[in-house]
Chains A and B, each alone.
Chain A
Amino acid sequence: MAEHDLHLMTIAELGRLIQSRQLSPVELTRSLLERVQHLNPKLGAYITVMSETANSEAAAAEEEIGRGTYRGPMHGIPVAIKDIIYTEGVLTSAGSRVLADHVPDYDSTIVERLRASGAVLLGKLNLSEFAVGGTIDHPYGTPRNPWNLGRSAGGSSSGSGVAVAGGLCAGALGSDTGGSIRGPSAFCGIVGLRPTYGRVTRHGVVPMSWSLDTVGPMTRTVEDCAIMLQAIAGRDERDSSSSSEPVPDYVDALSGRAGTVRVAIPPDAFEYEGLDAEVRSGVMSAVDSLAELGADINEVSLPVSAQSGAVFLATADVDAATFHLDWLKTRGDLYDWSTRTRLESAVLTPATTYLRAQRARTLIKNEMMSALEDHDVIVLPASPTLAPPIAQSTGSPGGYYQGRLDLGRRQYTSPAALAGLPAISVPCGFSDSGLPVGVQIIGRPFAEDVVLNVAHRYEQAAGWSERRPPDPE
């Protein structure tokens, strides 16, 4: 195995080599850490690199596998996690100056589960401050899109998107409150899954919104997503919102489904003025591919979901403001201008507005569930635009995350979030300028197996996930 190719390989490919002892976890980890050291200053993916513990974990994995104990497809695989996920003894900054000295004294359940799977933790990844999105001044460096360093990697799981696309880890975890996995995955040309609300524990994760937050995998392929989800899914007694629903075998589900897939398409969402023409074309090509694979495509109407951006902000931001209120009063100057303004805006949201949003949320959930009564999945763009220039990708006045267009753009990722549904972003093409486009596939509650199966079949037919960006010079 040529060492210079390791960063291009998938978790599944690396796992097979590790299991058969053709690849050393120690060598793999060393190779990726060298790439991180060389490229992270240009890409801004990592906040903290955990070289020492990563090397130790890799050595332990190698020794254990050498003794004949192979834990599974994550054993010896180097991964990284968004820096809102608690790690004992390691800075967990949430991308903010407010938590610049925050070193938890315990691991999140997710980190425990990753370690139990045998994964090697390379480090903590950059993000939009407190997973809110629109950060103007990233205190730990600006994440840069590997496909074009002048373009945004999206938000809020920007570092996770950059690290996976840029070959700085084999897979990553992000979090998705209203699109924070799916957006960066689309912008960076990778696969990202927002699980059903409650599918993955949030114990030891800095919250944004209690009724919307999810943690999920960001990977190079759908199969890798299934492998990572398998490692972290399931009930956690330390998180009351986690579900007791049984966890199926997600990798088996990739090839285990037969019959016609019923796909719902809301045509009005494809007529929105803020939808980029190349994104529309890429996603419609994906719909055509699904039809060629035998899917039954039907149009559905989701009128209230078109207004979901405002419903999302009136819900998620008010939740977040509740968590941040004391800090806003006492440490407000430490926040990025955009984060601070958005959270203060939420503090001042009238209660009547919040309650109106909660009724609208019920309407959206009913609307989505009604569409899914007769269909296996709903297909939408994962992001309505290509990755914008970094200078425009902020919550400052006139920026990407402000104003009427921001509310409109959120209609693509907010409905699944507000309804608590699983949704995956899969690469479905590239613009003429070489920027990735992502298609979003939304499923029923706890039907990650179906979502992954449909996404995998499309991915295999389309082949876009095989593309990798060049290393920055």
Chain B
Amino acid sequence: MSELTIDDVRKLAETMGLELDESRARTIASRLSGILEVLDAIPDEQLDSVEPAHRFEVGRE
């Protein structure tokens, strides 16, 4: 999934109990699609090679 339409956003918002006007729905669709596009461009084989950073720790390594 590399694009979210305004209709997608409206449906998701309704599920979450958020009321969006046209301007915010359009901006959110554009914003999320931009993020999805960048993340989708990172190769799957690279992402599949590591664990997600669910539990975040920093130490001297």
Task: Write the residues of chain A forming the contact surface with B, with a CB cutoff of 8 angstroms.
Answer: 196-198, 211, 243, 245, 304, 307, 309-311, 313-314, 325, 328-329, 332, 337, 340-342, 344-345, 347-350, 352-353, 355-363, 365-366, 369, 397, 402-404, 407, 419-421, 444-446
Contacts and interface: CB of A to CB of B under 8 A. Distances in A.
Interface string B4-35: 10000100110011111001101110111011
A243 B56 CA distance: 13
Interface of B: 1, 4, 9, 12-13, 16-20, 23-24, 26-28, 30-32, 34-36, 38-42, 46-48, 50-54, 56, 58-61
B58 A197 contact: yes
A420 B56 CA distance: 9
Given A304-B46, A340-B24, 8 more contacts: A211-B56, A243-B58, A332-B19, A337-B24, A341-B28, A348-B12, A352-B1, A419-B58
A403 B31 CA distance: 6
A358 B34 contact: no
A314 B58 contact: no
B59 to A, nearest CB: 6
Contacts, number: 121
B47 A360 contact: yes
Contacts of B23: 397
Nearest to A444: B60
A404 B35 CA distance: 9
Given A342-B31, A345-B32, A211 B53 contact: yes
Contacts of B30: 397, 402-403
Given A348-B32, A358-B53, A402-B27, A446 B60 contact: yes
30 contacts: A196-B58, A197-B56, A243-B58, A245-B60, A304-B42, A307-B38, A310-B38, A341-B28, A344-B13, A345-B27, A348-B4, A348-B9, A348-B13, A348-B28, A352-B1, A355-B52, A358-B53, A359-B53, A362-B51, A363-B42, A363-B47, A366-B50, A369-B61, A397-B26, A397-B30, A402-B30, A407-B38, A419-B58, A421-B58, A445-B61
A412 to B, nearest CB: 15
Contact of A361 (B38, B46, B53, B58): B53
Contacts of B39: 307, 310-311, 314, 353, 356-357, 360
A389 B54 CA distance: 38
B14 to A, nearest CB: 10
Contacts of B53: 211, 358-359, 361-362, 365
Contact of B34 (A356, A366, A407, A419): A407
Nearest to A358: B52
Best-surrounded residue of A196, A345, A420 (most CB of chain B within 10 A): A345
